[in-house]
A and B are shown apart, each in its own frame.
Chain A
């Protein structure tokens, strides 16, 4: 199976990310679906789509459960059966992976995958609590941890073991804001200086406001098909050639290593082996920068650099837009925004744009292999997908 296309991505779309006061989750989802359909005029939504897999993390934000049929219906796809997937912030990468399974099984030919989260109507303490529900209840939530707190515990362990600095973490924010400023769909489209990052208010020491991703509204969508029928829908399909998934203990305190995510290492190993590539073959990557330390750990866990060298990796400029391996060209969760359920497929959208030469001001020249890395919670779930373009 090495390097063989699992499925083709023939179109993708996302809503505007940000504070979208006038939009409910279903409205956002339809915005993402509409861009996806507009990019793919050969697709007949009513006839061609066999099923819908959609990721969403929490019913609490909109007090809305049973969202899969509601979203499918809202998108005008009443006849397509729909299932929701939930693995915290990796919910829509899970939807993609189930979509891939459904096509590989031979059951379906064309599947719509997507994700949505409508978060900004809630206060910050409310959103902090709802997101916190993805942490272990009896020992982590009960004793007062928060998600920034969990990543801060990893950041402190990383700093203690490897000497990683707050400045190095801050450079991740500076880079991702630079990229986000070039992305018209991003929540925050403005540059920040390292001084501004380092002097922003403390959230969970050593993580400051600008080390944290954004609470955003947004939705994402992609159409995946059997590889052999992809050209019926587009002249420029992108192929998914690797899909990896790893799980770990829910509680951070139950994991041996606090400076690395085993779920990422497992997912990456599976995806690289399936794709028949090595980390050095990746031309562009979207990684899960829910906090700046998470991006530094991702460099290491995905094999872009050695364990402990993630801080130097960003200092050296390798992951910059004009660097050797641009990371988070979209602005990442940090600047594009992090509507949690939408994030996994929003990463696929960015890689789809890059590999089809449609990323405009953030286009990475000559990229052929792209990687998307989506983490759930504090790292109990991780998905890695590897995509190949035809350029």
Chain B
């Protein structure tokens, strides 16, 4: 029933609250979108569908952030990177539950999240962590 959901960032975060990593695929041309969008901007079709992605990917670059805005002060220093999932779809985010010295470009990480706590936006906060084998 995923197709009944709007193809928006709000809905993407709703799925995330349910523990699902989703992306949007155009049923007309096959283009895939993460972040999602309500119209395919490759062919401008509205024939879209939600697809689920395997929530593990490869770290393509990272940093350790020491100076942060107020809202993230409690975490400093924190690792932050860009993770590439299947089909080249990517997300940026914090890397947690790992010794910073063990982080390497190319390593496998999985998506996790914490429930929404703020009034606006009511989005959970996702992050990456090492894959538990």
Contact = CB atoms under 8 A, between A and B. Distances in A.
Contacts of A235: none
B92 A152 contact: no
A258 B82 CA distance: 10
B80 A254 contact: no
A156 B66 contact: no
21 contacts: A125-B70, A126-B70, A128-B67, A138-B13, A138-B35, A138-B123, A139-B93, A143-B126, A144-B71, A144-B78, A145-B65, A145-B92, A149-B63, A149-B65, A153-B80, A154-B61, A157-B61, A202-B64, A204-B64, A253-B82, A258-B60
B90 interface: yes
Interface string A145-173: 11011001111110010000000000000
B125 to A, nearest CB: 7
Contact of A146 (B69, B90, B126): B69
Interface string B110-133: 000000000001010111000000
Nearest to B69: A129
Contacts of B68: 125, 128, 144, 146
A144 B63 contact: no
B127 A153 contact: no
Contacts of B127: 143
- Chain A CB within 10 Å — which of B73, B92, B93 has the most? B92
A128 B105 CA distance: 26
Contacts of A128: 67-69
B64 A140 contact: no
For chain B, the bracket of interface size reads: 20 to 34
Contact of A125 (B73, B92, B94, B126): B73
Contact of B62 (A126, A139, A146, A153): A153
B72 interface: yes
A258 B84 CA distance: 13
B63 A156 contact: yes
- Chain B CB within 10 Å — which of A153, A154, A155 has the most? A153
A124 B90 CA distance: 30
Contacts of B65: 144-146, 148-149, 152, 204
Nearest to B124: A142
For chain A, the bracket of interface size reads: 35 or more
Given A125-B70, A205-B64, A139 B125 contact: no
Q: Which 7 A-B pairs have the closest CB atoms?
A: A152-B63, A129-B69, A205-B64, A157-B61, A143-B93, A253-B92, A144-B72
A252 B92 contact: yes
Contacts of B72: 144
B93 A203 contact: no
Given A143-B92, A160-B105, A153 B66 contact: no
A99 interface: no
Contacts of A160: 61, 105
Interface in B48-68: 60-68
Interface in B1-55: 9, 13, 35
B59 to A, nearest CB: 10
Contacts of A149: 63, 65, 80
